[in-house]
Amino acid sequence: MLSWLRRGASPPPAEIDAELWRAATGRWLFMRGLGGDDNARLRALSARFIAAKQFSGTHGLEITDLMHVEIAAQACILVLELGLEWYDGWSEVIVYPSQFAPEREEVDEAGVVHLTKDPMAGEAWLGGPVILSYEDVALSADEELRVAGYNVVIHEFAHKLDMRGGEPNGYPPLHGNMSAAAWKRAFAPAFEDFCRRVDAAESRPEHLIEDALARLPLDPYAAESPGEFFAVGSEAFFETPELLAPAYPAVYEQLRLFYRQDPLARLG
Ligand SMILES: [Zn+2]
């Protein structure tokens, strides 16, 4: 009976080797303070993610076991308490060796179409693939080069969660115990405040701008739009909660309710 029931079910995903798991995750800030149980659950979830998604490299890039696990672990920290089904509806992870510059047509305010070719570290398509530059994936873990909270994988997968509700606008589908009004009350003033701070930093004398931007609690890219504020805020939530929580406590609290995790508490 059991064997009949099991027939047709997909085989369980291969377990991630303990040594490989340590090598792939040991350097990431978001792993700080993650308890043994949570660590084991993240490892099992990452194995399911690797089995469920199709990874492909461009320009002859071979996706090694280490790269699979690095990307899966970072994608899965977001859904550790939500479930892998939050990533249903698409299947492809495309990895470029370094930043990529897709040609795009953009229409400006005057209605003029421009062809742009801006280099990108990552991209998430509505209903389509997540695209990553591996150079930037690796950069997020490099202690010397690490920009506070910079994590391209967490960023793009946060967009994916946001897109569960359509175009990414910083307003993902909320859980039943959350309030849309409370989300807006937390995010709208924080976004406005952050835009003001970026403007103030950028209006300083030129030789002081870089330093002023570096002292902000979030990557200045968060000021691009509410959707980017949510994605960059999610990077900071997992990577540098000790900077995000004091700067924007209400945003931290909403993200804690949304992700059902408390990375700040893990730091003790
Ligand atoms: Zn983004």
260, pLDDT greater than 80: yes
Q: Report pLDDT digits (tens) over 96-108.
A: 988 877 777 777 7
Residue 147: pLDDT band with limits 50, 70, 90? low
How many angstroms separate the alpha carbon of residue 132 from the centre of ligand 1?
12
125, pLDDT greater than 90: no
**Which stretches within the chain are classed as H helix?**
2-6, 18-25, 36-52, 65-78, 134-139, 152-162, 180-202, 206-214, 226-239, 241-247, 249-259, 263-266
How many angstroms separate the alpha carbon of residue 204 from the centre of ligand 1?
26
Q: Can you give the pLDDT at residue 141?
A: 72
How many angstroms separate the alpha carbon of residue 137 from the centre of ligand 1?
14
How many angstroms separate the alpha carbon of residue 203 from the centre of ligand 1?
24
Ion ligand 1 neighbours (CB, 5 A) are 228, 231
Burial of 175: CB neighbours in 10 Å, binned 0-12, 13-18, 19+ = exposed
Q: Report pLDDT digits (tens) over 12-21.
A: 678 999 999 9
Instruction: Let me know how long the chain is.
Output: 268
Go through the domains of the chain in sequence order and give each one's CATH number.
Answer: 11-163 (1.10.472.150), 169-268 (3.40.390.10)
Q: What is the mean pLDDT of residues 73-92?
A: 96
- DSSP H/E element including 29: none
Q: Can you give the pLDDT at residue 209?
A: 92
* Cα–Cα separations (whole angstroms), residue 251 to 70, 151, 203, 257: 27, 19, 26, 10
